[in-house]
């Protein structure tokens, strides 16, 4: 039985993520309770807003060490993924250092936030099963630089990490909960991970 915990720390669009799982027939719990998060089979770490404020919310909720020590599959979404990186220029803010890369702001010549659909070129990773070069929905002004842990690439004048993976931790810059059939497939793939 899948038990999905969506981390609630005051910086995520948790309801749309929960609705996405409901559409897949999966019940999830929105929680900031560390025991509920630790006992779940799968954990979603969402995020919307400013990195520094989001990190402060995590600290206040006592969730930094909880997240860093999770052993089950964890999926960071948008700002959630960025907070799993070493650091971000937004703030600037030190991240949880799960992904060995930095988050930087798009070039001043580019319109930000970058909003809309873009194809993701994926590497051979189970998260992207049946999803090579599919379109996903993005809203962001900062991006994770390409690293050895990059498993999906997108372009906005330059190539950047649309998805990252390190052991049981995964992250996507886009919003699978707002990406139609491709997003549903990605969440289905995530639930198959153990």
Catalytic residues: 78, 175, 177
Return d(Cα 162, Cα 125) in angstroms, integer.
13
Return d(Cα 46, Cα 101) in angstroms, integer.
19
| Short-list 151, 146, 154, CA closest to 165 | 151
Which residues, in sequence order, are CB contacts of 42 under 8 Å at separation 6+?
A: 2, 3, 4, 5, 72, 73, 74, 75, 190, 191, 193
In the three-class reduction of DSSP (H, G, I as helix; E, B as strand; rest coil), residue 164 is classed as strand
Q: 109: burial class by Cβ within 10 Å (0-12, 13-18, 19+)?
A: exposed
Q: Give φ, ψ of 23 to 5 degrees.
A: -65, -25
In the three-class reduction of DSSP (H, G, I as helix; E, B as strand; rest coil), residue 166 is classed as strand
């Amino acid at each position: 039985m899948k038990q999905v915990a969506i981390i609630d720390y005051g910086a995520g669009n948790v309801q749309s993520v929960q609705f996405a799982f409901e559409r897949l027939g999966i019940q999830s719990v929105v929680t900031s309770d560390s025991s509920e998060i630790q006992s779940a089979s799968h954990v979603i770490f969402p995020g919307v807003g400013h990195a520094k404020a989001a990190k402060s919310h995590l600290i206040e909720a006592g969730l930094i060490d909880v997240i860093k020590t999770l052993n089950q599959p964890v999926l960071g979404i948008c700002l959630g993924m960025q907070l799993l990186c070493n650091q971000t220029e937004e703030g600037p803010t030190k991240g949880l250092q799960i992904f060995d890369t930095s988050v930087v702001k798009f070039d001043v010549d580019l319109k930000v936030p970058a909003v809309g659909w873009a194809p993701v070129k994926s590497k051979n990773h189970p998260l992207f099963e049946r999803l090579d070069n599919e379109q996903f929905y993005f809203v962001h002004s900062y991006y994770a630089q390409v690293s050895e842990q990059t498993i999906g690439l997108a372009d906005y004048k330059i190539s950047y990490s649309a998805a990252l993976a390190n052991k049981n931790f995964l992250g996507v810059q886009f919003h699978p909960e707002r990406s139609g059939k491709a997003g549903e497939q990605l969440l289905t793939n995530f639930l198959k991970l153990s």
